[in-house]
């Protein structure tokens, strides 16, 4: 049973560019959440997608946007990248909005 | 606003030396307290979910307990492979999911 997968594993961008990160949920899961984790800190909630709609959002600017596809996979888009956007971006999937979240390996983003 | 704190920030143990990690929380209606283990550069790995005060769960050398204000992760006779960051998170009635900063555990052989 494949777990949560994310791509790419690493990414280097420059300030002002745009980036798209991808996530495929665990089999049987229909809800995807995205987190940003700075070095040495706990994950910070960005938003959650269920039934192809953004259901909840954390305290992140609208430079951060997302999408969920009919097969439950999801994308995270970040526009106008800032140096402070450098972090590990984690995707978590769950069976429904209230289910236990299982995390992917993350995408390490470095903004220069 | 939901808040989660963890202590200590870092803990160094000798192999076999048992100890406990603390997770203190304030939440608007607890819908679950979660423990995860995270190895450097990897995603968090799910360990336990606790739902109500008095509940306990065990897995190998780990045991998680829950009260109305805090949770403990007890590590019995740890081994070097238990070295990792242990994260605590809470979910509230609004389905908001908030993580603590984590405890970095090092187990020395």
Summarize pLDDT for B40-78 with one digit per residue, the tens. 989 999 999 999 999 999 999 999 999 999 999 999 999
* CB of A100 less than 8 A from some CB of B: yes
Q: Using a CB-CB distance cutoff of 8 angstroms, which residues of chain A are in contact with residue B94?
A: 56
pLDDT at B95 over 90: no
Give residue A1's pLDDT: 66
Under DSSP, the state recorded for A85 is G
Distances in Å between the Cα of B91 and the Cα atoms of A67, A89, B72, B73 are 23, 20, 17, 18
- Side-chain half-sphere exposure of A45, counting CA atoms within 13 A: 23
Q: Nearest-5° angle of CA B60, CA B64, CA B68? A: 170
pLDDT at A98 over 90: no
What average pLDDT is seen over chain B? 95
Residue corresponding to tokens 């049973």: A1
* Interface contact flag, A43 B99, Cβ < 8 Å: yes
Question: For testing the chain B interface, which of A43, A45, A96, A108 should be mutated: the one with the most B CBs within 10 Å?
Answer: A43
> CA B63 to CA B105: how far, in whole Å?
15
For the record, the structure tokens of A64 come out as 């951060």
For the record, the structure tokens of A61 come out as 């600017």
pLDDT bin (cut points 50, 70, 90) of residue B1 is confident
pLDDT bin (cut points 50, 70, 90) of residue A99 is confident
The residue ranges of DSSP E strands in A1-112, in sequence order, are 5-7, 10-13, 19-24, 31-37, 44-50, 53-57, 64-68, 74-78, 87-94, 102-103, 107-111
pLDDT bin (cut points 50, 70, 90) of residue A26 is very high
> CA B54 to CA B30: how far, in whole Å?
14
Distances in Å between the Cα of B10 and the Cα atoms of A22, A26, B21, B43, B73 are 32, 32, 10, 19, 14
Would you say how long chain A is, in residues?
112
Size of interface A-B (CB pairs under 8 A): 54
* CB of A13 less than 8 A from some CB of B: no
* Interface contact flag, A43 B44, Cβ < 8 Å: yes
């Amino acid at each position: 049973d494949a777990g949560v997968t994310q791509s790419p594993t690493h990414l280097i961008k420059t300030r002002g560019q745009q980036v798209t990160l991808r996530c495929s949920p665990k089999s049987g899961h229909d809800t995807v959440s995205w987190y940003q984790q700075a070095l040495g800190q706990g994950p910070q909630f960005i938003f959650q997608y269920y039934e192809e709609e953004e259901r909840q959002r954390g305290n992140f600017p609208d430079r951060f946007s997302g999408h969920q596809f009919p097969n439950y996979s999801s994308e995270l888009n970040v526009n106008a990248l800032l140096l402070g956007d450098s972090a590990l971006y984690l995707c978590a999937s769950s069976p429904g909005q209230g289910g236990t979240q299982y995390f992917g390996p993350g995408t390490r983003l470095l903004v220069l | 606003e939901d808040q989660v704190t963890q202590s200590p920030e870092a803990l160094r143990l000798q192999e076999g030396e048992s100890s406990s990690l603390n997770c203190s929380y304030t939440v608007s209606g607890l819908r679950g307290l979660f423990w995860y283990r995270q190895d450097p550069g990897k995603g968090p790995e799910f360990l336990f979910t606790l739902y109500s005060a008095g509940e306990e769960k065990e897995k190998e050398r780990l045991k998680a307990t829950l009260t109305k204000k805090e949770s403990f992760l007890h590590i019995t006779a740890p081994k070097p492979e238990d070295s990792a960051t242990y994260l605590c998170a809470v979910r509230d009635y609004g389905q908001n999911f908030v993580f603590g900063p984590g405890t970095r555990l090092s187990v020395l052989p």
